[in-house]
Structures are given as C-alpha cells and as structure tokens.
Amino acid sequence: MSLEDYRAVFIGVSFILILLVASPILSLVLPFSSGSEHFSEFWVLGPTHMAEAYPSNVRVNETYKLFVGITNHLGSSAYYVVYLKFRNQSQPLPNVATSEASPLEPFYTYMAFIVDGGTWESPLTFGVLKSSSYDNFVSVDSVSINDVVFPVNVFSAWDAAKNGFYYELFFELWLYNTSSHSFQFHNRFLGIWLNMTN
Amino acid sequence: MASAEVSEDEASLALTNAEKDLVLAYQAVLEAEQAGANVSSLVPKLNEAGEYLARAQVEYRIGHFENATNFAGSSRSIGDEVQNAAAGLKTSAFFERVQHMWFMMIGSLAGMILVFLGSFWVWRAFKRRYYRRVLGMKPEVVSGEP
C-alpha cells in the first residue's frame, strides 16, 4: 500500500469515528423513525376473564359479567371512549369499510386514558330487567349496565333459521384526534349475540 | 325522573364544560409527555375524571340532572387539577431537556475535536514511521571489488 492509500483509510476511519461521536447531536436534527406499527388492541372477555363462556341465552332479571379492555400501541398517550349500544338483527352495525360508526345512540360510555404500551380494563355487568313477548316478537324494554337501569325498547322478530329472538350488545371504540380536536370512530367494534328466547 | 332543582339545560351545560375541560386536561398531559415529562402519575387522575364524566353522561341520559351536574363538577375539578400539574411537569421537563441537550452538545463537540486531533496525531506518527521504514529499505552502497 502506498502512503496515499493509507491516508484514505485514515480519513475514512476518522470520519466514521466523528460521525459516531456526533450521533447524539445528529439525532436532535435528523428525525429517526422507530419503524413500529401503531395500533390499538380492543377486547371483551367472558366472566372467567378468558375469551370463553360469553353469555348467550339471556334470562330476565339475571346479571352477566364481562370485561372490556384496551391496550394502547399508538406511540403516545391516548384518550379512548367506548360506546355501548344495543340492537336487533335488522339495526345497523358500524361500517368498517367506510369507517362509520353505527348511527344508534349509545346508552353507556367508558372513558379511558392510556399511556403508550399501557392497558385499561373495566368489568361490566349487564342484565335484561324487563321484556315483553308477542306472537312473533320480543321487546326488550329495559336493561341494566353496572347497576344503572336504561330504557331501550328494542323489538326483535323470531329468527327461524337460528331459532331465537336475537339481540346484540356491541362496543364501539372511539379515539380523540388531537388534529381535528374531535372524537373519531377508531374502526374497531365487538359484539355479543344474546338470545332472548328464554 | 327529572330533578326539580337542576334543569336539563343546566345539566347539559355542565356536561359540555366538563367534556371540554377533560379534553384540555388530556391535551396538557400530551404536551407534557411530548416535552419529555413522565406523565404516569397524571393518567390515573385523568381516568378518575373520565369515570365521573361517564357517570354524569349516564345520569343525564336517565334524567337525573342534579346527579349529572354533580358528577360533571367532580370531573371538572379533577381535570383542572391535572391541567395545572401537567403544565408544571411540562416546564420542568423542558428545562431538564435543555440542560440535557447542552451536556450532549458539549460532550459531542469535545469528542469530535478529540477524535480529529487524535487522528491527526496518529497520522503524523504513522507517516513518520512509514518514511523511516521506506528509508530503511534503501539499498546500501557497499564497496567491493569485482
């Protein structure tokens, strides 16, 4: 190797060392992406705190227990709202393709502030307090959520294919958007089918 | 069953104010977090305020306007407390960050100068040794008879 070659090697090594020493300053100027995916986990668990034994055949004046939970992987603290809604088979669900929430009014709300990587969970007890039955219809008149009574008045027709009067208790996840300064449907929802034949 | 003491409009106003205050408290916490503050102590308080607000909304929906106003008031007072605490955390986090940046910049600059001078010194020493070795490789003139 000639002296010129050695000189080039020396300059190269010195440059790399200088870059290494300057990396704390460079990190302030250059934006380095973490590359991780941002998302939210949303779940409803059964009474045993597992994804099993969900209530399905529901009786009047009995209470059922569930757990609702969220984990934040959005990269910063987040403000979530969970809306509980109740519907029959013909009423609309959220539309995930168009990111639209169900137009049904919520009757119960949870609010959760979660740091990045953190988890929030809350128990939920619900029951049907009053229902009326007709020839081919059942009407759920009132339900209780966490010991608060709500009038709902939702009718359900007999489902001959599934042999039952079906209702769905569903949970919509909303997120506060700091850019638009409003809550937006977070495109996630979960539901539990309830058969009121009994 | 509606309350006689608090009207629906008053309860609705109390709810709207509590919702706004909670959003402001959340934004204050978010700003503190972005400034580098540890906001883990404030999040449980925000959740407590959120529980009160959710309860206020439930009471409002079932026509208990006085209860709705009381729960909204509890949510607001916690929200205000969180806002003030978050502003304090943001300020202290800002000064800590500035101090940290100065230490980092001075350390990096000193390191860069040391690397530069060190490389220069090593290069000079290497060059001297290289010349000495090359000169040492010169053929010696020896006298001899053919």
Mean pLDDT (whole number) for B13-38: 95
Same domain for A161 and A138 = yes
- Do A50 and A145 fall into the same domain? yes
A134: Cβ–Cβ under 8 A, 6 or more apart, which residues? none
CATH code, A118: 2.60.40.10
Q: Is the CB of B22 less than 8 angstroms away from the CB of A111?
A: yes
Q: According to the model, what pLDDT value does residue A2 have?
A: 81
CB burial of residue B125 (10 Å; 0-12, 13-18, 19+): exposed
Q: How many CB atoms lie within 10 A of CB B37?
A: 23
Torsion-angle region of B93 (φ positive above 0: left; ψ -120 to 50: alpha; else: beta): alpha
Task: Report whether A164 contacts A196 (CB < 8 A).
Answer: yes
Residues A12 and A66 in one domain: no
Give the model confidence (pLDDT) of A76-133 as tens digits: 999 999 999 999 999 999 999 999 999 999 989 999 999 999 999 999 999 999 999 8
SS3 labels along B76-104: HHHHHHHHHHHHHHHHHHHHHHHHHHHHH
A16 shares its domain with A91: no
Q: A27 and A2 in one domain? A: yes
Residue B10 in tokens: 């008053």
Whether A13 and A77 map to the same domain: the answer is no
Sign for the pseudo-dihedral over CA of A27, A30, A34, A38:
positive
Report phi then psi at A63, rounded to 5.
Answer: -110, 150
Q: Return the axis-axis angle of helices B43-61 and B65-136, rounded to nearest 10°.
A: 150
B43-56 pLDDT, tens digit each? 999 999 999 999 99
Cβ-defined contact of A24 to B33 (cutoff 8 Å): no
| Residue-wise burial string across B71-110, b where 16 or more C-beta atoms lie within 10 A, e elsewhere | bbebbbebbeebbebbeebbeebeeeeeeeeeeeeeebee
Number of structural domains found in chain A: 2
Domain range spanning residue A17?
1-32
Q: Say yes or no: A16 contacts chain B, CB-CB below 8 A.
A: no
Determine contact: A178 vs chain B, CB below 8 A. yes
Alpha carbons A80 and A103: distance in angstroms, whole number? 19
Across the interface, whether the CB atoms of A112 and B119 are under 8 A apart is answered no
pTM strictly above 0.90: no
**Domains assigned to chain B:** 8-136 (1.20.140)
Asked if residue A45 and residue A139 are part of one domain, the reply reads: yes
Average pLDDT on B119-135 reads: 89
**A81 CA to chain B: closest CA distance, Å?**
9
Please check whether residues A78 and A135 belong to one and the same domain: yes
Q: Nearest CB to B54: which of A14, A111, A181?
A: A111
Together in a domain, A11 and A79: no
Contact pairs from chain A to chain B, CB under 8 Å: 87
Q: Are residues A119 and A143 in the same domain?
A: yes
